[in-house]
Chain A
Amino acid sequence: MKIRKFINGLVALGAAAALLLLSDLENRVGSQDGKEQTKEEGGLHAVKGRTYKIGLTYFAPDATMEAGLVGLWDGLKELGFVEDSNLTIIRQHANGEMANLQPIHLNMDNEDVNLILINTTPAITAAVSTVKKHPMVFTMTYSPLEAGAGKSYTDHLPNITGVGSFPPVEKTFDFIRDVFPNVKRIGTVYNSSEINSVKVVEKAREYIKDKGITLIENTVVNTSEVYQATYALCLKNIDVVWVTGDNTALQSMPGIVKVCKDNKIPLILNDVDYVEQGALAAVGIGWYATGKHTAPFVAKVLNGESPANIDIENYVEEDITLNQEVAKTLGITFPDKYIQMKKKAKRENPLKLCLIHYVDSPNSENVEKGVRDELKRQGMVEGTDFTMKTFNAQGDNATLNSITESVAGEKWDLIFASSTPTIQSLAKKIKNIPIVFSNVGDPVKAGLGNSFTDHLPNMTGVSTMSDFDGLVNLVIETVPGIKTIGTVFTPNEVNSVAYKDELNKAALKRGLKLIAAPAGSATEVSDASLSLVSNRINAFTQISDNLTASSGSSIIKAAYDARIPYFGFITEQIKSGAIAVLARDYYIAGVDAGKQAMLIFDGKSPKDIPYQYVSKTSYLVNPDAMHYFGVKVPKKYIDLSN
């Protein structure tokens, strides 16, 4: 009988656990990529103690290769394959000569490697006919099928698989027509023995056929002909030069750029990594993303899965890169939609963000508002560019832990934390997701680093420590003969205590005495301020913490009743009757956190972003209050207040 009763409890536990797991299904490894991963548990990750060897072949070193390979190595690193640690890479390239491709692959096939990683379309063509002993994975190619990798993405040669990235040809020409509405003749240069270029040009020809545009083609057979071919092209009265990802042409990009520049003809590419060399724009592929997308393919094959079981995939992260400098010299302005799109193209999926509050307070609400406004100002639209989930522990420590666990179980792009306990709890649990904090008084004292620059690697943030020296100076210059100042503080708020100590230091420096009265709850705030009044302080210099921020008006009331000048650190208090406020605003603290987050979105590591104080200190002065208390704030502060 007893056992049956326990079963009730266990069933309830089981049901709750199952419900929780059910809502967590999306994070299950197996559910992400379907069949490959469920079948190959752990096959994606480097096996401990094992070393791997990759043979890497490509046409020639260039900027595109560089970007793609960086993405690939980054992707592999995430899966536990680290070069020079458990991964050896043998690199060989054909020096930009088609004729060299065959021999380097023959050579590579005789090396003792786990797989051969083939980059660029011509290399694939050479590899499929020469490599017999090793499995192959390809990437950085427009058209793997035309190169001979197989009949279709699912029906391909058994020893090869990989990722193809066919460039957005239609979009390229739409772009050209949007920027140059009167375009009639577009010239292009490519190597006719590169099957990838042939395929792209074919598609382009077909797309513009009925659009009143003629494509003028000049073909080359090696890099040395490119300059001349482009030169000849420019003499054929063309409006725009378009060069696709032709390996041969890319090798001679400086030549192409020079000819176009000399003839004042805009140059449009498909490879974004070349734009900065002097092209007008590129509508193309983010190769870094392609490289990264290839990493799981490489990982699986390295762990022994046969390429035959892995379908080829087409993966394109479209990216439009504009060169405003070139646009200026050519007198061209891009349509607004591309400038907008440029921002969006970077992120196909909205960034997944969350913001965690510890308690409902005006300060943390202002921080949230600041963060959201700043993201909006930076052109981030909620829903399309990012999603932001907010959590609030509502002052409950156990709930804060549950929130931290819940957050740790999901994959976020960035987490905002709006209080000291929040960031401490996150710091303990989350080591690999960037975290930006705000509304933290002293991050060093909170254990988040040794200094503002030497801090925990996955986080950065904004310290809301007030400008105590500034306020003490202002008060001394405003209230003649001042000896003692007073503040209410909240012993249970770590920020509040730190602020009180700092204010005390600042006061001692100028020979003032600080009297601090503790308050633990809203009802105690007015008692505490009355006790300050009876201590005959000459001025209130109220520090800013969560408690006194929400019940500050009772302190101001006490100040008015006793005619003791009131100074504060919170913007809103100027309206409630403070004489002057020296605000490092929580709203601005949120804005600054938003700015730091943008740096992280742009690829900067939180480790390299130092902690900072709120960037702007605003001086606010209330003339009515000045009059009431019979004091005069020096003119220099009044000037600052605008």
Chain B
Amino acid sequence: MSLLIGSITIGLILALLALGIFISFRIFNFPDMTAEGSFTCGAATGASLIVAGMNPLLACLIAFIVGMLAGATTGVIHTHFKINPLLAGILVMTALYSVNLHIMGKSNTPLLNETTVFTWIERLSSAISGPDAVSSLLGWEVNTRNIWILFFCLLSVTTFSFILFWFFRTNIGTAMRATGNNDQMIRALGVNTKVMIIIGTALSNGFVALAGALLAQYQGFADVQMGIGMMVWGLASVIIGEAIINDNSLGAVILGAVIGSVLFRLLVAIALRWGLNPNDLKIITALFVFVALILPTLMSYRKPTYKRKVNA
């Protein structure tokens, strides 16, 4: 049970990453490789500021802003210098590697004894239910503070999802979505698509960096290598979510990205829990994802086709 709760928590933290990837990949059709760098960048910024004594929430906010700057850079490189979006992302991602080392001053910043957002929640938990309190869930014993942390992550992901949902229905948000769908049409309406793309990549990487900052606090350290592979996993989460929910409306895709991310972590956890040969972990994970992707299609084959009969 604690594994379940832990996996959902990580899944929710990485859901912010998935939301970020969703913005660039789905809204703008922009395969943005910056995420690998901005994820670490957020973690490095957040961790370094916390070590310097800053309020962890403020540190998260600054990590978000630094991520936005990184994303905006990619956007500018793409729109103003006409560089292929993939390459623009790779350039910024590569550059961020050095930037991240400079931010931390070294390759790894421990946060074990620092006050992070999660330390606050732990304190809150011990204030309410006592230190090291244990709750019973369906017969499993679970540390109460882990439940609190889960709720916190759920709350923040819900909040951010609603903010995104709201944002993409405002005028500017709609223009941004239109930019991704049909940029000629929206240009004809007098919208500057370059600005839209820059805002979009900035927003996307802001979320990615925020996920990095939170994950660093959750796991107790920031490491310059922690972004490696994140882009792929974020993308996988978005696609899994889409495949399962199978609906193109805005709310559905946002929720899909979150569900996809959590589901993905659960699948990894199952692969781990089954205790297979550790070398096989990735192939098993890949298999699970494959199954998760084809399952909706398989299920729809078996659905009886009432509709046609009615029409006929």
A408 to B2, alpha carbons, bound, how many Å?
A: 8
Q: Is B224 an interface residue (CB 8 A)?
A: yes
Q: Is A186 an interface residue (CB 8 A)?
A: no
Q: Is B259 an interface residue (CB 8 A)?
A: yes
Q: Is A119 an interface residue (CB 8 A)?
A: no
Q: Is B220 an interface residue (CB 8 A)?
A: yes
Q: What per-residue 1/0 map shows which CB atoms of B266-292 lie under 8 Å from chain A?
A: 111110111100110110000000001
Q: Which residues of B contact A397 (CB under 8 A)?
A: 215, 219, 223, 225-230
Closest Cβ neighbor of A450 among chain B residues? B113
A12 touching B221, Cβ below 8 Å: no
CB neighbors of A among B1-38 (8 A): 1-4, 6-10, 14
Closest Cβ neighbor of A354 among chain B residues? B275
Closest Cβ neighbor of A494 among chain B residues? B108
Q: Is A399 an interface residue (CB 8 A)?
A: yes
A425 to B112, alpha carbons, bound, how many Å?
A: 9
Q: Is B181 an interface residue (CB 8 A)?
A: no
* Given A2-B252, A8-B296, A401-B219: A494 and B4 interface contact (C-beta under 8 Å): no
A403 to B136, alpha carbons, bound, how many Å?
A: 23
Q: Which residues of B contact A421 (CB under 8 A)?
A: 108, 221, 223, 225-226
B2 touching A409, Cβ below 8 Å: yes
Q: Which residues of A contact B130 (CB under 8 A)?
A: 48
Q: Is B169 an interface residue (CB 8 A)?
A: no
Q: What per-residue 1/0 map shows which CB atoms of B55-69 lie under 8 Å from chain A?
A: 000000000000000
Q: Is A402 an interface residue (CB 8 A)?
A: yes
- Size of the B side of the interface (Cβ < 8 Å), in residues, is 70
* Given A29-B136, A29-B141, A425-B219: A8 and B244 interface contact (C-beta under 8 Å): yes
A394 to B285, alpha carbons, bound, how many Å?
A: 12
Q: Which residues of A contact B106 (CB under 8 A)?
A: 494, 497-498
Closest Cβ neighbor of B118 among chain A residues? A428
Q: Which residues of A contact B84 (CB under 8 A)?
A: none
Closest Cβ neighbor of A427 among chain B residues? B112
B6 touching A405, Cβ below 8 Å: yes
A404 to B146, alpha carbons, bound, how many Å?
A: 14
A408 to B296, alpha carbons, bound, how many Å?
A: 33
Q: Is A505 an interface residue (CB 8 A)?
A: no
B14 touching A398, Cβ below 8 Å: yes
Q: Is B177 an interface residue (CB 8 A)?
A: no
B110 touching A424, Cβ below 8 Å: yes
Q: Is B159 an interface residue (CB 8 A)?
A: no
A16 to B240, alpha carbons, bound, how many Å?
A: 13
Q: Is B152 an interface residue (CB 8 A)?
A: no
Closest Cβ neighbor of B4 among chain A residues? A20
B270 touching A19, Cβ below 8 Å: yes
Q: Which residues of B contact A41 (CB under 8 A)?
A: 136
Closest Cβ neighbor of A403 among chain B residues? B272
Q: Is B101 an interface residue (CB 8 A)?
A: yes
* Given A24-B140, A29-B140, A404-B219: A395 and B269 interface contact (C-beta under 8 Å): no
* Given A20-B4, A24-B140: A492 and B97 interface contact (C-beta under 8 Å): yes
A98 to B221, alpha carbons, bound, how many Å?
A: 63
Q: Is B107 an interface residue (CB 8 A)?
A: yes
Q: Is B233 an interface residue (CB 8 A)?
A: yes
B252 touching A5, Cβ below 8 Å: yes
Contact partner of A17 (CB less than 8 A), chosen from B110, B223, B244, B266, is: B266
Q: What is the CB-to-nearest-CB distance from A210 to chain B, in angstroms, rounded to a whole number?
A: 50
Q: Is B121 an interface residue (CB 8 A)?
A: no
Contact partner of B107 (CB less than 8 A), chosen from A24, A408, A492, is: A492
Q: What per-residue 1/0 map shows which CB atoms of A9-31 lie under 8 Å from chain B?
A: 11011001101110110011111
Q: Which residues of B contact A27 (CB under 8 A)?
A: 1, 140
Q: Which residues of B contact A398 (CB under 8 A)?
A: 10, 14, 215, 229-230, 233, 265, 268
Contact partner of B110 (CB less than 8 A), chosen from A392, A400, A447, is: A447
Instruction: Identify the 7 closest CB pairs spanning chains A and B, nearest first.
Output: A447-B110, A428-B220, A405-B6, A494-B108, A409-B3, A397-B226, A16-B266
What are some 6 contacts across the A-B interface (CB < 8 A)?
Answer: A21-B4, A397-B230, A406-B272, A408-B3, A447-B221, A492-B107
Report which B residues bind A (CB closer than 8 A).
1-4, 6-10, 14, 97, 101, 106-108, 110-113, 130, 134, 136, 138-141, 215, 218-221, 223-230, 233, 241, 244-247, 249, 252, 255-256, 259, 262-263, 265-270, 272-275, 278-279, 281-282, 292, 295-296, 299
> Could you list 11 further interchain pairs (A-B, Cβ under 8 angstroms) beyond the known A16-B266, A402-B7, A492-B101?
A29-B140, A396-B229, A398-B215, A398-B229, A424-B219, A428-B220, A491-B101, A491-B107, A492-B97, A492-B224, A494-B106
